[in-house]
Homo-oligomer: A and B are copies of this chain.
């Protein structure tokens, strides 16, 4: 490994230094991340996960999503150093589409990307600095190699820097989330209208997916469960036929320009029983009480506690230990709406609320929409097209 390291080091030092780009000319995301890194007392910020690197670069290196051996790394250091490391086979795309002007590539079979990273940090002048890295994602071997190459650097977790920065969306991000949220809700609405007794779950899924693709979404996921399958969290979609009386739970995780949606509806084939109606009404009641509270300054933990209290007053115990979650580059991100978080709502936080109640082996109830915090309250991203104040009747 040391011979590769030496070669890499030579290559890196032989390059001219990256020309300084002044903060004001940089993309808003770079500026925010640099500011957060500095405020937290670090000299550099290194990301390796698909969501953090894609957020930073504004571009998903395709094999970042399909091949875990092809590392993709982003580096911001000091006031001007910015570099992205990609596998050589994706270099052309990255040069054309990434926000990083400085793209460095490695040969998947001959080079160690951890060495390319070490070289870049040395070049950036932070070899003895405080470096915030994704310890929660970076493979142990990369970390051990990096520490070996930069023995005087201090490495600490950068999770909070990314969480807090990503949590407050830019207006551009909110715009993309609105587009994919609306598409997702419309697809669910239109697909539920076509549900008939005797169709299989997969028959419905074909309609969902066709409309998602037609709308420009590609990296989506969906979960469609009928009858007892509706009671399985993250269920698969099967050849089971839809029967009269089935509860149907449809959850769609859409995607557009690397931003995600998460919308869920519960329907019943025919008329609901009193028990089904009552359970769903309890979830809706809890959600509506929560809605009256949402505004900047509200601690998310308070929202969660209100939700739990309301459910219990109706005699149901929430199945999940959170009411919802932030949404953006990943389906789940901060703020998790739960009582272990000390986060307070701020404008441009985007999140879901997903009251959920499962009766294992029987049926499940789940209503999920997307919201955005505004200057003085909140706004719906979804919830207007496919209403869910009561169980949707289909068939």
Chain A interfacial positions (CB closer than 8 Å to B): 49, 51, 62-63, 66-69, 89-90, 92-93, 107-110, 133-144, 157, 202, 205-206, 209-210, 213-214, 216, 218-219, 221, 223, 232-234, 236-237, 239, 253, 320-322, 330-332, 336, 338, 340, 360
Contact = CB atoms under 8 A, between A and B. Distances in A.
A332 B67 contact: yes
Contact of A140 (B62, B135, B219): B135
A4 B253 CA distance: 33
B210 A67 contact: no
A122 to B, nearest CB: 20
B202 A336 contact: no
A221 B66 contact: yes
A243 to B, nearest CB: 21
A109, A134, A216, most chain B CB atoms within 10 A: A109
Contacts of A138: 139-140
Nearest to A223: B62
B140 A69 contact: no
A133 to B, nearest CB: 8
A350 B321 CA distance: 43
B109 A340 contact: yes
Nearest to A222: B218
Contact of A234 (B62, B68, B142): B62
Given A137-B139, A141-B135, A234 B90 contact: yes
A213 B221 contact: no
Nearest to A339: B109
Contacts of A236: 62, 218
A81 B67 CA distance: 30
Contacts of A63: 234
Contacts of A202: 213-214, 216
Contacts of A218: 236-237
Nearest to A157: B141
Contacts of A338: 109
A109 B213 CA distance: 35
Given A138-B139, A143-B143, 8 more contacts: A62-B234, A66-B331, A108-B321, A109-B321, A135-B139, A136-B141, A137-B139, A206-B210
